Amino acid sequence: MCVCVSTALQVLLYASRDCLLAGDSCSSDETCSPRLRTLRQCVAGDGSVKLGPGARSQCANAVSALLSSPLHGCQCRRGMKREKNCLSIYWSLHQSGMHGLNLVESYPYEAVEKGYDYVRLASITAESELGMSTVNRCLDAAKACNVDDVCQKLRTEYVSACIKPAGKSGLCNRSRCNKALRRFFDRVPAEHTHELLFCPCSDMACSERRRQTIVPSCSYEGPEKPSCLTVMRVCHADYICRSRLAQFQHDCQPEAQSASGCKQGNYAACLVAYTGLIGSPITPNYVDNSTSNVSPWCSCSTSGNQREQCAEFLDYFTDNICLRNALLTFGNGMDLTPTPSQSERLSPVTDREARHTTAGLVTMDTDQNIASPAMPTQDIENERLWGDSTIPFHTDRNSAHVSAHVCLLVPTCLLLLLLLGSEQ
């Protein structure tokens, strides 16, 4: 009874802050509606020109008036229906809040108030594999996803979208791939998505398969890395990407004096914000298969006199104590509510170093997981992507390995193998 009442109150509380509802309410109000139209002209490129002389004061007056309307303080939810519409209303009021790298004090989405109990996923197969003395969290994460209907369905959808050639070119449909990736990370609980993406690895083969989780060859990689400044401009022009970046900059904001390294002190919120960028123009991922370093697919080599601005953006991923500690804490299986003593033990170590300090959390891969990371073919990428998650739990490992190799050349067969594995 208490749970139902609490849930109902949360729904009502969110509804009172929903930007779509607030926008509808404003549009139907004869006082609020003209001010909202003025504001939209102010932020629509050269829209302020249409307002004529005194446009600046008209815009300022519109913002001032709307700050006392239901629009002020409204929010959106990641992955909601009409998300772009909701975000467009939010950014109409906050258009000047984010230019380049200026950090925002808020963002459109509901805040992550607390962590999550990812420890409950530890070793799904522990009862059936009593002989194992260690836990392979990457393998367990794949199996956990396969026995969860939502996770298995949406993971199958994004993998299919990202490995399927589009037309005679043989290239994938990047837009469709990224849309499916966003759907997966927005709708599947963090207990599953974070274990798949941030599980600790003990060798290069495991690390490479983890890097392939989001299918980099389709989702973001290209012949050459673009300038990070260009990527930032593209992101800023897209309501969803701009909002995800604002959330990331807020929840992963570093603070050297903080015990956790995070200004907000919430590792779980930082990781949720990080995954929100996947499927956007600023999709971050592991840079190689020998460390846990992450970065978006861009560089600052051609940034010229804007190099400082470019480096500041890139450092948010490559030299961010908050993000680094959040990743290490999750990989080490520690509580995501940091304490001073816990934070003092964190340091920038590689996966191999981490496994020596976290006994019993990881194990060497099975014989199926020895694909060479030095072979960048589409077939090998598919094998890393599907890995152990496609193996029926009670099937002989060697025979399943052969089946996986037979299926590598046929994407449809890969999907069937995944579905069979999840039903066993």
- What are the tens digits of pLDDT across the range 139-180? 899 999 999 999 999 999 999 999 988 877 778 999 999 999
**Tokens read off for 411:** 């994407």
82 near 20, Cβ under 8 Å? yes
Give the pLDDT band of residue 57 (cuts 50, 70, 90): confident
Q: What pairing do the DSSP bridges indicate for beta strands 294-296 and 284-286?
A: antiparallel
Stated pTM of the model:
0.73
327-344 residues labelled b (16+ CB within 10 A) or e (exposed): bbbbbbbbebebeeebbe
Task: Please compute the mean of the pLDDT values over residues 348-370 and round it to a whole number.
Answer: 35
| Identity of residue 53 | P
Give the pLDDT band of residue 71 (cuts 50, 70, 90): confident
Task: Please compute the mean of the pLDDT values over residues 337-360 and round it to a whole number.
Answer: 44
Residue 294: strand, helix, or coil: strand
pLDDT digits (tens, 9 = 90+) for 242-298: 999 999 999 999 998 999 999 999 999 999 999 999 999 999 999 999 888 999 999
d(CA 259, CA 218): 38
Domains and CATH numbers, the chain: 16-95 (1.10.220), 135-332 (1.10.220.110)
Hey, which bits of 189-331 come out as E strands? Answer: 284-286, 294-296
Q: In angstroms, what CA-CA distances link 393 with 124, 127, 141, 360, 380? A: 11, 12, 13, 22, 22
Give the pLDDT band of residue 66 (cuts 50, 70, 90): confident
What one-character-per-residue DSSP string does 61-88 give?
Answer: HHHHHHTTSTTTT-BB-TT-TTHHHHHH
d(CA 48, CA 46): 5
Q: Among the ranges 84-98, 167-181, 273-287, 389-403, which has the highest mean pLDDT value? A: 273-287
